Amino acid sequence: MLPVKAFERLPKSVVPVHYEITIKPDLVKLVFEGHESVTLKVVEPVDQIILNSLELELNNVKLADEAGQETTISQVVLDVENEKAIFKLSSVLQPGQYHLKLEFKGVIIDKLKGFYCSKYLSADGEERYSGITQFEPTDARRAFPCWDEPAVKATFDITLVVPKDRVALCNMPVVSELPYEADPNLRVVKFDRTPIMSTYLVAYVVGEFDYVEERSTDGVLVRCYTPVGKKEQGRFGLYVAAKVLPYYKEYFGVEYPLPKMDLVAVADFAAGAMENWGLVTYRETCLLVDDQNTSTQRRQWVAIVVGHELAHQWFGNLVTMEWWTHLWLNEGYATFVESLCVDHLFPEFKIWTQFVTDTSTPALDLDSLKNSHPIEVPIGHPDEIDEIFDDISYHKGAAIIRMLHNYIGDDDFRRGMKLYLTRHKYGNTFTEDLWAALSEASKKPVGTIMSGWTKQMGFPVIRVSARQDGDKRILQLSQQRFLADGTKDENNTMWMVPIEIATSRSPTTPSMSFVLEGEKSEIVLNDIRPDEWFKMNPGQVGFYRTCYEPELLKHLVSAIDQQTLPPLDRLGLLDDLFALVQAGHSSTVEALTLLEAFANEDQYTVWNRVCSALSKLSHLLAYTDHHELLKSFGRKLLGGMTRKLGWESKPDEEHLTKLLRSLLLGRMAMFDDPEVIAEAERRFLLHIKGEEQVPADFRSTVYKAVLRTGSRSKYDDLLRIYREATLHEEKDRIASALGTIKNEEILKEVLAFAMSNEVRSQDTVFVISSVASSKLGRDLAWNYFKDNWDLFNERFKGAFLLVRLVKSLTENFASEEKAVEIENFFKEHHCAGTERTVQQSVESVRLNAAWLARDAESVGRYLTSKSQ
């Protein structure tokens, strides 16, 4: 585990009670000025006041008691390294209430954090800027001096002085609007007082927007703000939000405490969205839906993101983690609950069937690394925080909550949630507070069972063997930590593992449930014949891998062929086997043989995992002579279902069938299937002529397919479409397709294009990552990054986008030489906040190299035999 950097949190001797803040932004010069009055509570005698401030000029700092008696501030010290302002006092301040007043100035930056600018074109083509805030995790201090820690809560009165033709939004509704006396072109917008809240949830937005609105059934005014001219694209997100708020109120048994909920689509945004209380900001592609041009997958994603951010209004905003160590209390819960609400609103999405591939599997993959981290990870310096906004905090957090929800049952889970939220509302919590509430509600030892899952890194593999005794089967179970490199855990880490077992007689209802507490256990299954199968972890609810002895696995593979094993268990079997292959506990040939059993598969979620497995193998075999053989294998495996589905949607077709068609066509294009590419080129030609638009569900596939030939003309055609597109989703589709072109010179142009003014900073990472996803582009992208390190560091330093970029550029290499090269580069070019990511990537590279060395030759023989 990485050492925690030395860092002191703010002293608790002085805390804010209430802020009155006025901000006056200049959206032409991109600067702002402001002043604030902070009501302070002094808890013990102090001779200095310490708060957070970064990149702000502070002036006229004054301190007075309730009677107006001033205390002289003898010195203002700006501690840039620790992001603090220290006001040294001429005399000792005694406990009591005081008022701190000061003025400040700052720059509206273009770094997608703090108070930043977002460029757009007005209706007459003029280049203009919006002002947006993004304060999580520690950037409120860039916008106004404050106690910028989640546990230091206060109320806020915020006033914005803005151009009179601009929309001004904040956490709370407007209470007054008056002319600004010094300038008739400005107006003063005062907002209502907030509830007590953390600084990272404060938000304000100034710009030009349209909106649509609806009042939820429980009386909350919900508005969806969009760029001018796009308000109809906000209706789907509005619909979801207006339905989600009353659903959460009913499910949690706690009202949404604010009078309004604004959702705002902004052009430049680093993450997907941010849960600011009452004013949630979104990347356009995470909120806007165009009926003609938005894909089925993207519409589903918008529902998920809206559900996630509104869950935070309770988990995170009403009840907040005490420190970033407990970030998962926000993100893990919101990621679990988003599926609850989307399943309620859109049962046709069958979202829980997608949870395993989208949430559990990525978490298991990352958490099998030795350079993973516990869900509760010690955090010191702010630059360590961005790295834990990852698959552990979000996805492992959600997965263990799903496991817990299943263990205690929905009724007790809901009672526990209500207890937790009502007991701690407007306060801050530790993980133990959550366990206490759920234990109280369920009368089960939740804390005892779950503490190991949050405080320990990793997860177990449950090894299963069995012997038959008449109509009974005696199972021998053992657990040990699963490590991706196949080594034994030196610490002999153990978990209390909620176990369920299903059998062929009752595939969807567990016939046995218990908690595995030690290293080994023996279990008896009754009424099961020797030829019948049993399956550990039905529905893949438990956060662990399963390794069966060969004879037991044979029964389960037969159940795949006969389609008697439920879909989630089919994909779980495949998922576990591929993990065991990577760890060297099974052979890749064994996994390829299992893949062939899925040729007649008809479920999207299972195919999604099959395609992920093939994609991983494709990355690896790109370093061998067997890559084309794998493509041939993939075309044969996917070909039957692809042809069965075809290109045309059917009337009243299921949601997951639409997703499956897009998935298979996209993968077949990457396998260079001649029929798919020919049809894609035919459709693309009609599309660019304006004769027949490619449906949104296939557009990404078509764009990637037509670039496989390396054609300069088609590349130019796509760039033209990119430049003409007004829908950000369309720009995203094209940007992520450009890296698939099989032309080294054009790939170099794509990398330069990614860093140009034509691509927003938030999207640069994804364009470069698309180049790095192919064998041809991988070294090109990595070398481009190294050659332009100063530029990348300047643009993305301190932003989690850099973490994403480092991961995508490095983790798919497969040689010891590359691992050493990556290590050495980042030793010489240190970038705070990427240390853990670099270690994880280097570990992944060495895992890939070991996998290739172990299995490449046998895989080549197997694929050769299948091609004959």
State the CATH number of the domain containing residue 433. 1.10.390.10
Rounded (5°) CA angle 20-21-24: 155
Neighbours of 507 (CB within 10 A): 18
pLDDT average, residue stretch 414-431: 97
Residues 65 and 77 in one domain: yes
In a domain, 200, yes or no: yes
The string of pLDDT tens digits covering residues 509-522 is 998 999 999 999 99
Distance CA(52)–CA(148), nearest Å, equals 6
Taking only the tens place, the pLDDT of each residue in 620-677 is 999 999 999 999 999 999 999 999 999 999 888 999 999 999 999 999 999 999 999 9
Residues in the chain, total: 868
Do the domain assignments include residue 856?
no
pLDDT recorded at residue 796: 82
Integer Cα distance of 136 and 6 in angstroms: 21
Please give the annotated binding residues for Zn(2+), written as ranges: 308, 312, 331
Task: Please tell me the predicted confidence (pLDDT) of residue 3.
Answer: 55
Determine the Cα–Cα distance for residues 265 and 223; give it in Å rounded to an integer: 11
Please check whether residues 65 and 169 belong to one and the same domain. yes
For residues 202 and 214, state if they share a domain. Answer: no
User: Is 309 considered catalytic here?
Assistant: yes
Question: Rounded distance, CA 527 to CA 537, Å?
Answer: 19
One domain for residues 402 and 491: no
Q: Write out the binding residues.
A: 308, 312, 331
Do 484 and 517 reside in the same domain of the chain? yes
Residues 6+ apart with CB under 8 A from 811: 840, 841, 844, 845
Alpha-carbon 355 to chain mean position: 13
Predicted local confidence at residue 846, as pLDDT: 97
User: What's the pLDDT score for residue 562?
Assistant: 83
Does 343 lie in the same domain as 239?
Answer: no
| Radius of gyration from C-alpha coordinates of the chain | 28
* Structural domain that includes position 363: 320-455
User: For residue 808, is it within any domain?
Assistant: no
pLDDT tens digits, one per residue of 303-328: 999 999 999 999 999 999 999 999 99
- The band of 2, judged by pLDDT with boundaries at 50, 70 and 90, is low
Which value, to the nearest 10 degrees, does the dihedral of the CA atoms of residues 371, 377, 383, 386 take? Answer: 80
Shared-domain flag, residues 330 and 273: no
Of the three residues 549, 567, 585, the one that is the final residue of a domain is: 567
Q: What is the pLDDT of residues 439-475, one digit of tens each?
A: 999 999 999 999 999 999 999 999 999 999 988 999 9
Q: How does pLDDT run across 219-249, given as a tens digit for each residue?
A: 999 999 999 999 999 999 999 999 999 999 9
Q: What is the pLDDT of residue 632?
A: 97
Distances (CA, A) of 284 to 193, 237, 266, 513, 580: 29, 11, 6, 44, 39
Note the helical H segments in 206-274. 235-252
Phi then psi for residue 425, to 5 deg, are -60, 140
Which of the following is catalytic: 149, 284, 309, 387?
309
Please say if the pLDDT value at position 49 is more than 90. yes
Q: Is the pLDDT of residue 828 over 70?
A: yes
User: What's the pLDDT at 4?
Assistant: 52
Work out the number of other CB atoms within 10 angstroms of the CB of residue 125. 6
Is residue 799 scored above 70 in pLDDT?
no
Backbone angles phi, psi at 90, to 5 degrees: -75, -20
pLDDT digits (tens, 9 = 90+) for 557-609: 889 888 899 999 999 999 999 999 999 999 999 999 999 999 989 999 999 99
Is the pLDDT at 759 greater than 80, yes or no?
yes
Tell me the pTM. Answer: 0.96
pLDDT recorded at residue 390 = 85
Tell me what the pLDDT averaged over the chain comes to.
94
Answer whether residue 793 is part of any domain: no
Q: What is the pLDDT of residue 381?
A: 73
pLDDT band at 531 (very low <50, low <70, confident <90, very high): confident
User: Helix, strand or coil for residue 267?
Assistant: coil
Share of the chain above pLDDT 90, in %: 89
In a domain? residue 261 = yes
Q: Is 816 inside a domain boundary?
A: no
Contact 242, 213 (CB under 8 A): no
pLDDT at residue 368 in the model: 97
Pair 201, 216 in one domain: no
Give pLDDT tens digits for 255-265.
999 999 999 99
Question: Does 183 lie in the same domain as 292?
Answer: no
pLDDT at 67: 93
Q: List Cβ neighbours of 493 (8 Å cut-off, separation of 6 or more).
A: 456, 458, 460, 480, 481
Q: What is the mean pLDDT of residues 521-546?
A: 94
738: pLDDT confidence band, cut at 50, 70 and 90?
very high
- What pLDDT, on a 0 to 100 scale, did the predictor assign at position 800? 73
Helix (H) or strand (E) run with residue 19 in it: strand 14-26
**Span 153-187, pLDDT tens digits:** 999 999 999 999 999 999 999 999 999 999 999 99
The residue out of 206, 239, 261 marking a domain boundary is 206
The b-or-e profile of 159-173 (16+ CB within 10 A means b, else e) is bbbbbeebbbbbbbe
* Position 238 in a domain: yes
Q: What is the CATH number of the domain that holds 521?
A: 2.60.40.1910
Q: Label each residue of 810-843 as H, E or C.
A: HCCCCCHHHHHHHHHHHHHCCCCCCHHHHHHHHH
**What tens digit of pLDDT does each residue of 271-305 get?**
899 999 999 999 999 999 999 999 999 999 999 99
The pLDDT of residue 384 is 78
The residue out of 535, 550, 567 marking a domain boundary is: 567
Average pLDDT over residues 790-816: 87
Shared domain for 238 and 304, answered yes or no, is yes
Res. 122 pLDDT band, cuts 50 70 90: confident
Q: How far is CA 121 from the centre of its chain?
A: 29
Instruction: Let me know: does 46 contact 87? Beta carbons within 8 Å.
Output: no
847 domain-assigned: no
- Domain match, 195 and 54 both: yes
What is the total count of domains within the chain? 4
Q: Are 287 and 413 found together in one domain?
A: no
